[in-house]
Amino acid sequence: MFDFLADHRANLCGGSHLSRRQFLQAGVLGAAGLSLPQYLAAKQAGGVKPGHDQRSCIMIFNLGGPSHIDLWDMKPDAPSEIRGPFKPIRTKSPDIDISEILPLHAKIADKFSLIRSCYHSGAAVHDAGWQIMQTGRRFTGGINTPHAGSVASYLMRQRSDLPPFVVLPELMGRGGGNLPNGQAGGFLGKAFDPFELLADPSVENFNVPDLLPPDQIGAARLERRRTMREIVDGAVRNFEASEDARLYDDNFAAAYRIMTSPQARSAFDLSKEPKKIRERYGMNRVGQCMLLARRLVENGVRFVTVNTFLTVFNELSWDIHGSKPFINVDQMKGEVAPMYDQAYSALIEDLDQRGMLEDTLVTGLCEFGRTPKVNPAGGRDHWPQCFTVSFAGGGVKGGRVIGKSDPIGGFPAERPVTPGDVVATIFHSLGLDPNSHLPGPAGRPFPLTDFGTEPVKELFA
């Protein structure tokens, strides 16, 4: 066993000096998180704080860039070309007013808090925002930084046979750019990429594709197949130096564990949920993904990303430019916002009722906000200079507003918060020490978060 903190080269992308056996151990665990001794070592070294063993995170990523001014940072006193068509309503929290198109949020506003002064300095294109918000760092060429979930699955102990990091329903697709978009393990290696569901849990008889062997393959044959595969695969050594090839081996081992674990199978089985609960979340992809996220966390997954939408082109998303192929404000009001309102409020309520909210951080992120001024098509365009993100559970106190935007929602007016701060806040909730280090490219120690970034500690006080 190697000490992963003492030897920064002992990671999956630079592990060429490891023996095959060591590698297999590291790899299998890698694809499934740290082993207990590694975890304890990490904990001792300050990587994971005590008292956070049960912590998990559900990161909701609102693809398209929701309009903060129309949703959670309304400007009723601004001129009409700024304030838009919607009115604010009162909520259960005296500090939070919210848009009339999010009525269910209003009823649980004591459970979540908003940061109204988030901004980033990346390009105002979708992929750039995905990358910067999910990794906390802007890609400038060269070093591809990992998703917060990959970092968590690298540092936190595996709690079950399930993969530590899952993305529902699948990775966000084309956003128009051609650079890393922050949804994967980056320099930590592909072993820390998320497990992708690749299915829509709202369809009838939903199953995780290929989770179980065909009926004719019973336990004995499954075992024989595994033995045979090892005979063949052990014969050639050409693959030792290839990361992709090593990873295939790890994936086979991890897949075998999932297939043979009743807990893993049951976690994905939405038919075990009462109809009433399923309907409370909404019988659509967004709702059922949120429900599945809860089941996965319940069964030991550390980090779940729920992508509410998958592309901005010709499909529903938050990208209200007002002209084709994007959506318009009426679609947001009539379809997108109600769906999200229902699913999000159901998730928070459900976690709360099950006593899981204290240990489950739910964060609602997005790639940017939208222009203060309504455009000629009646929509709003990309605006990374100021937007709102939400936090609930995982130690966060609800009903607060942190930070403030200027009178038109154009720039942060108080307490500006960067993507680095957002990701540091996630790490803080999970009990990861932002001052610890990851094994970076070429073995260079890479800080969990950059100098100058801080968790938004007011959320927890």
Partner 1 sequence: MRKGGSWTALIVGALSISTAVAGELRLLPEQVQLTGSEARHRVRAFRFEDGFAGPVEKANLKSGNPKVVKIDSAGTLIAVGNGETTVTALASDGSKATTAVRVKGIDVPHEWSFRNHVQPVLMKGGCNSGACHGALAGKGGFTLSLRGYDPEGDFFSITRGARGRRVEVANPAYSLLLTKPTAATRHKGGKVIDPNSRDYRILAEWVAAGAKGPTDEDARLDHIEVLPEQSLLKVGDKQPLIVRAHYNDGRVEDVTHWAKFTSSNEVVAFVDDKTGIVSVVGHGEGAVTAWFDSKIVIARVTSPFENQIAESVYSKAERRNFIDDLVLAQLNRLNLKPSPRTNDSEFIRRVYLDTIGVLPTAEETGAFLASKESNKRGKVIDHLLSRPEFVDYWSYRWADLLMINGRLLRPEALKSYYMWLRGCIESNTPWDEIARQLVTATGSSLENGATNFFAVNQDPETMAENVSQTFLALSINCAKCHNHPLEKWTNDQYYGFANLFARVRGKGWGGDPRNGDGMRTLYVEPRGDLIQPRTGKPQIPAPLDGEPLTPDATDDRREHLAEWLTSPDNPYFTRAVANRVWAAFFGIGIVDPVDDLRASNPASNEPLLASISDHLAKSDYDLKSLMRTILQSETYQRSSMTVPENESEERYFSHYYPRRLMAEVLYDAISNVSGVPGDFNAVKLQDGSEQKTEFYPKGTRALQLYDSAVSSYFLKTFGRNERAIACECERSNQPSMVQVLHLSNGVTVNDKLTKKESRASILAKDTRPNAAIIEDAYLSCLSRKPTPQETSQFEKLFADTPEAEKQMVVEDLFWALMTSREFLFQH
Examine residue 273 and tell whether it contacts partner 1 (CB under 8 A). Answer: no
Question: Distance between the two ends of the chain, CA-based, in angstroms?
Answer: 40
Distance in angstroms (rounded) separating the CA atoms of residues 82 and 78:
6
Q: Candidates 18-26, 88-96, 241-249, 346-354: pick the segment binding partner 1 (CB under 8 A).
A: 241-249
Of 122-141, binders to partner 1 (CB under 8 A) are: 123, 140-141
Q: How far is the CB of 373 from partner 1 (least distance, A)?
A: 10
Of 310-329, binders to partner 1 (CB under 8 A) are: 314
Examine residue 24 and tell whether it contacts partner 1 (CB under 8 A). Answer: no
* Rounded (10°) CA dihedral 211, 217, 220, 224: -90
Closer CB to partner 1, residue 216 or residue 271? 216
Q: Candidates 77-85, 216-224, 274-282, 357-365: pick the segment binding partner 1 (CB under 8 A).
A: 216-224
Distance in angstroms (rounded) separating the CA atoms of residues 446 and 190:
17
Q: Tokens 């739910």 label which residue?
A: 362
Please state the length of the chain. 461
Residue of the chain from 24, 53, 88, 251 that contacts partner 1 (CB under 8 A): 251
Examine residue 205 and tell whether it contacts partner 1 (CB under 8 A). Answer: no
- Are 367 and 105 contacting, i.e. CB atoms less than 8 angstroms apart? no
Beta pairing, strands 165-168 & 360-366: unpaired
Residue of the chain from 61, 112, 139, 195 that contacts partner 1 (CB under 8 A): 195
Residue of the chain from 1, 203, 277, 442 that contacts partner 1 (CB under 8 A): 442
Examine residue 407 and tell whether it contacts partner 1 (CB under 8 A). Answer: no
Q: Tell me, what DSSP letter sits at residue 158? A: P
Q: How far is the CB of 196 from partner 1 (least distance, A)?
A: 6
- Phi first, then psi, for residue 447 (nearest 5°) are -65, 145
Q: How far is the CB of 240 from partner 1 (least distance, A)?
A: 7
Q: How far is the CB of 191 from partner 1 (least distance, A)?
A: 10
Closer CB to partner 1, residue 393 or residue 409? 409
What is the amino acid identity at position 324?
Answer: K
Q: How far is the CB of 349 from partner 1 (least distance, A)?
A: 31
Half-sphere exposure of 60 (CA within 13 A, CB side): 29
Closer CB to partner 1, residue 209 or residue 376? 209
Examine residue 174 and tell whether it contacts partner 1 (CB under 8 A). Answer: yes
Q: Which structure tokens are listed for 190?
A: 């592909």
Of 221-240, binders to partner 1 (CB under 8 A) are: 221, 224-225, 227-229, 231-233, 235-240
Examine residue 413 and tell whether it contacts partner 1 (CB under 8 A). Answer: no
Closer CB to partner 1, residue 6 or residue 235? 235
Q: How far is the CB of 424 from partner 1 (least distance, A)?
A: 20
Adjacent-strand bridge partners of 393: 396
Examine residue 219 and tell whether it contacts partner 1 (CB under 8 A). Answer: no
Closer CB to partner 1, residue 163 or residue 420? 163
Closer CB to partner 1, residue 233 or residue 335? 233
SS3 label, residue 208: coil
Distance in angstroms (rounded) separating the CA atoms of residues 388 and 319:
15
Helix 285-298, helix 337-353: angle, nearest 10: 20
Q: Which structure tokens are listed for 374?
A: 């309504």
Q: Residue 389's closest CA among 119, 150, 206?
A: 119
- Are 80 and 38 contacting, i.e. CB atoms less than 8 angstroms apart? no
Please give the C-alpha separations between residue 384 and each of 137, 146, 305, 368, 453, in angstroms, as whole numbers: 14, 21, 21, 4, 18
- Looking at the chain, the number of H-run helices and the number of E-run strands are 15, 16
Q: Residue 148's closest CA among 395, 392, 421, 385?
A: 421
Residue of the chain from 19, 242, 263, 266 that contacts partner 1 (CB under 8 A): 242
Residue of the chain from 193, 341, 359, 367 that contacts partner 1 (CB under 8 A): 193
Closer CB to partner 1, residue 47 or residue 372? 372
Please give the C-alpha separations between residue 206 and each of 159, 289, 372, 428, in angstroms, as whole numbers: 25, 11, 41, 35
Examine residue 190 and tell whether it contacts partner 1 (CB under 8 A). Answer: yes
Q: How far is the CB of 431 from partner 1 (least distance, A)?
A: 26
* Interacting residues with partner 1 (CB under 8 A): 14, 16, 31, 121, 123, 140-143, 163, 174, 178, 190, 193, 195-196, 198, 209-214, 216-217, 221, 224-225, 227-229, 231-233, 235-242, 244-245, 247-249, 251-252, 254-256, 258-259, 314, 441-442, 444
